[in-house]
Structure 1
Amino acid sequence: MAVDDSWEPFRLVDANEAIVDGTRAYLRDLLASGRSEATARAYGMDLLRWFRFLWAVGVPWDRATRVEARDFSRWLQVAGKPSRPHWRRHGDQGGGLWVPGGEPYAASVRAHSETVLRDFYDFHRDAGSGPLLNPFPLSRSRRGRGANAHRNPMDPPRNDRAGLYRPVVPTRVPRSVPDEQFNEIFARLPSHRDRALVAFYVSTGARASELLTATRGGTDPGRQLVAVVRKGTRAVQELPASTDAFVWLRLYLLEVEDEIPRGRQVPLWWTLRSPRRPLTYHAVHRMFERVNARTGTSATLHALRHTAAYRMAEDPNLPLTDVQFVLGHAQLTTTQIYLTPRKEEVIRRLLTHHAEQTRHAAARVAPVPAAGYRPESLQTLFGVDAR
C-alpha cells in the first residue's frame, strides 16, 4: 500500500490493513541501502504474493520451512496469475474478487520472487528475528563450495549463487518495433503531447518512468538535450534527442501554455483533461495500449527503448560505449545484447534466402551425361531422369 510518507512510502498490509509483521523493518533497510521507491514497491509485491500463500495454508512467516517454499514455487508454476474485473465493472461476475487460473507467471517473475524471498529471510536470520534456516536455500550443487571453484579462468563466469528453487530464465532477444509498424502507430497518436512523448522515447532510449521525471527547466532545445532522473542511481543525466521530438514538444507546450504552472522545476508532462495533473506512468502506458488497439499491433511502451537502442547499435559511426552511456547500463555486456540481429530482420533475410534458392533450383539445367552411361543407372544414382 502506498502512503504519503517520504520516510516509509510503501507498506505491506493484510486484509485488516494492519502492517504485516517482519516486512516493515526489511523495507526500511532496503531503502536505507540506497534502493529506489520503485524497487521497494516491487519487492513488496513479491512479499505480498508469498504472504498470501502462507495465509492460505495457515503457516506463520517465521515458521515457514523448505516444504512451504517448495510448494509455493510449484504453485507459481501451475496456478497462474490472479485476475479481477476492472474497477468500472465492479458489479460484474466476480464482484472485484481475485480469480485464479490466469496465464502462468513468467520465469523472470518467479526468479525475481525467489531472490527477494531468500534475501528477506537472510535479513531476518542475521537480525535474529526469523528462522535459523532459510526456507529458500542455495542450490545443492553450489552449497559448501567456493565461488567459481575448479573453473577454467578462460571460461565465462557462472552463477554460483543460484537458489534451489530458482528457475532457469531463458535469454530473450529484446523486442523492438519494426519501422513500418512504428510509423503506423505514430500516425494514429491523437495529440501533440503523445507524439512528443513517443518521439522522445524512440530517440533518447530513456525508460518510460525516466522521461516522466523531466522538468520545464530540464529541456534545452538549442542543444537538443533533455534531463531525466535515472532509475537506478537517481542521478540527473542529459540525453540527446531528435529534432522532431523538440518540434512536437514545442507544439504541445503551445497548446497547454496557459493551463499549466510555470517554473523550471515544474513537470514537463501533464494530462490532457482538466483539471491538469502531472502525467503518470500508468496513464502513458494506457495511452499506448489504446493506440495499439486502434492499429491492431502489440508493441509495448518499453519496446520503444529497445527500438532506440537497436537503431543506435546499428549505426557504424556510433561506438557501443556511447550507446551504453545513453542507455544508462552499468555493464557493457548489457548493451551488447543489442548487437543480436532483430527477429524481423533474421526472418526477412532467411525468407529471401529460401526464395533465392528456389529460383536457382528452377533455373538449374540438368547436366547431360557422357556417352556410355546407362540411363537407368543414373536414375537410380541421382533420382532424376538422366536421359
Structure 2
Amino acid sequence: MSVPLVGQLVATEDPWEPYRLIDPFGEPVDAVTAYLRDLQAYGRPATTVRSYGMDLLRWVRFLWAVDVPWDRATRIEARDFSRWLQVAGQPTRLHWRRQVDVEWWRPGGKPYAASVRAHSETVLRSFYDFHRDVGSGPILNPFPLDRSRRGRRAHEHRNPMEAPRNERAGLYRPTVPQRVPRSVPDTEFNEIFARLPSHRDRALVAFYVSTGARASELLTSTQGGADPGRQLITVVRKGTGEVQELPASTDAFVWLRLYQLEMGEDIPRGRKTPLWWTLRAPSKPLTYHAAHRMFERANTKAGTSATLHALRHTAAYRMAEDPNLPLTDVQLVLGHRLLTTTQIYLTPRKEEVIRRLLAHHAEQTRLAAARTAPVPATGYRAESLEILFGTGAR
C-alpha cells in the first residue's frame, strides 16, 4: 500500500503550542492538538512534544490512506499499522529538486528499529487513553494492553502492600533487544578528531567526550557557565531542566579558549549569551542539528560511522573503567535517575572482548602446536642427532 506523505508537523513560535499537526488542507488536527497540550501540562519539554507528534503523524497518514477517521479506528487498523511499519519501512523521499506536489510512502525503505516501533505503540496507546478518559474518543483503545499473562490476570501475584507497577506491555508492542551502548575506540576517535576543521568543533567534541553530556545539553551552556579555573561547565539537563555543573578535561578548555580567540568580535559577549555559535556570518546560536551535521562530516572524512551520542557512551565507559571513580559519581555526572542505568557501562566493550578472545585463540593455537611437536627420546647424544637430522632438528 502506498501512503501519501501529506500533512506535516510544523514548529510554531507560540510557547503555548510549540508544535502543530496539520492535515493535507492546512487545518490543524484538533484531536492531536488537545493531546499535545495535555503533554505540555505534564511538564514534557518541546522535544518530547515533537517526538510524540511525529509518531502521531505516521498514524494519521495511515488512517488517511485507508479512509478511516481517527475516532473510528479499531484493533484491525492498529494491527495493520503495526504490520505496515515492519514491512514498508521508512519512507524514501526524492531529492528536493525532483519533488512533485505529492510524495508517496514507497515500500522497501530502511526498516524501522524495534525501539522506534515500540515508542510509536506507546504513544498511540496513550493518545487513545487520553481521549477515552475525556470522552472524545472510542471506548475501546485500538492499541490495547496484552493482559493474557498465560491465561491469568495481570499482577495476579502482586504484593497488595506495594504500589502497582506500570503495565507497559502492549498487545502490538515489539520486543526491544537489550543493546550494549556503543563507544568510540581510541584509534577511531583520534581519526575523527584529526579531521575536525575548526577550534569550535574540537572544543565541542572534547567537552562531549570528557563530560558525558548529551548533545542537546552541552549546547545550552552560556559564556558565564564556563569556568576554566575550576574546570567546570554548566549545562541544563534534558527532561528535568536542572542546572548542573560538569567537570571537563583541561584540553577541552584549551580548545574553548582558542575558539573564542578565533571568533573574536564575531559573536556577542555576555554571561547569559550562548557559548556555541555558527562559524558563518551572520552568527547564530548553534543548534543540535548543526552540531550533528558537523560530526557527520568529520565521520565521512575519517571513514568511520560513529555518532554524536556515542561520545557520551565513550565518556561513560572511560569513567566506569576507572577503579578510583565510584559508580555513584558516574551516575551523578551522567544524570541518571537509577544506578541500574549506569551499570550498563560495566559491560565490557565489544572491541575489548574481541581483542581478548583473539589473543586467547592465538595462545590456544600456540599451545596445541607445542603439544604436537615431536620430542626425541631420552638417552641420545646431541651430536649424534645433529649428524642424523641436521641443524635445528630439535
Shift of 1:151: 6.7
Aligned residues: 364
Q: Would the alpha carbon gap of residues 145 and 266 (structure 1) be closer, same or farther in structure 2, given more than 3 Å must change? A: farther
- Does residue 189 (structure 1) correspond to residue 196 (structure 2)? The answer is yes
* Number of the residue aligned with 1:82: 91
Question: How many Å apart are 1:140 and its aligned residue?
Answer: 3.6
- State the secondary structure of the residue aligned to 1:317: coil
Q: Following superposition of structure 1 onto structure 2, how do residues 17-36 of structure 1 map, counting pairs within 5 Å?
A: 17-36=26-45
AA aligned opposite 1:31: Q
Deviations 1:343-369 (A, max 9, x none): 11111100000000001101114799x
Does residue 1:289 correspond to 2:301, yes or no?
no
* Structure 1 CA distance for aligned equivalents of residues 293 and 144 of structure 2: 39
Q: Any conservation in 1 of the 2:246–2:333 contact (CA below 8 Å)? A: yes
**In the alignment, which residue of structure 2 is the partner of 1:384?**
none
Match of 1:69 among 68, 78, 95: 78
* Equivalent residue, structure 2, for 1:254: 261
Provide the residue aligned with 2:340 in structure 1: 333
1:299 aligned counterpart, secondary structure: coil
Which residue of 1 is the match for residue 51 of structure 2? 42
Aligned residue number for residue 227 of structure 1: 234
Q: Secondary structure at the match of 2:11?
A: coil
2:338 is aligned with 1:324: no
Match of 2:142 among 135, 138, 144: 135
CA contact (8 A) 1:174 1:338 kept: yes
- For residue 363 of structure 2, what is the amino acid of its counterpart? E
Share of identical aligned residues, percent?
A: 79
- State whether residues 76 and 110 of structure 1, in contact with CA within 8 Å, keep that contact through their aligned partners in structure 2: yes
Q: 1:342 to 1:255 in 2, by over 3 A?
A: same
Matched-pair contact (CA < 8 Å) for 1:192–1:249 = yes
The normalised TM-score by structure 1 is 0.90
C-alpha displacement of 1:127: 0.2
Residues 122, 340 of structure 1: alpha-carbon distance in 2 compared, 3 angstrom cutoff: same
1:212 paired with 2:219, answer yes
Answer yes or no: is the 8 Å Cα contact 1:199–1:244 preserved in 2.
yes
Q: How far has the Cα of 1:15 moved from its partner?
A: 1.7
Deviating more after overlay: 159-168 vs 330-339: 159-168
2:22, 2:353 → 1: CA distance?
Answer: 48
- In 2: Cα distance, 1:79 partner to 1:361 partner: 52
Q: Does 1:202 align with 2:209?
A: yes
Q: Using the alignment, how far apart are the partners of 2:350 and 2:82 within structure 1? A: 32
Structure 2: state its 5+ residue gaps.
1-9, 378-394
Ranges of 4+ aligned residues in structure 1 off by more than 2 Å: 91-101, 142-152, 157-161, 365-368
In structure 1, stretches of 5+ residues that fail to align are 371-387
**Is residue 7 from structure 1 mapped to residue 24 from structure 2 by the alignment?**
no
SS at match of 1:239: strand
Distance 1:218 1:143 in 2: 55
TM-score, structure 2 as length reference: 0.88
Equivalent position amino acid for 1:3 in 2: T
The alpha-carbon deviation at position 116 of structure 1 amounts to 0.3
Q: Give the C-alpha shift of residue 69 in structure 1.
A: 0.3
AA in 2 matched with 1:122: D
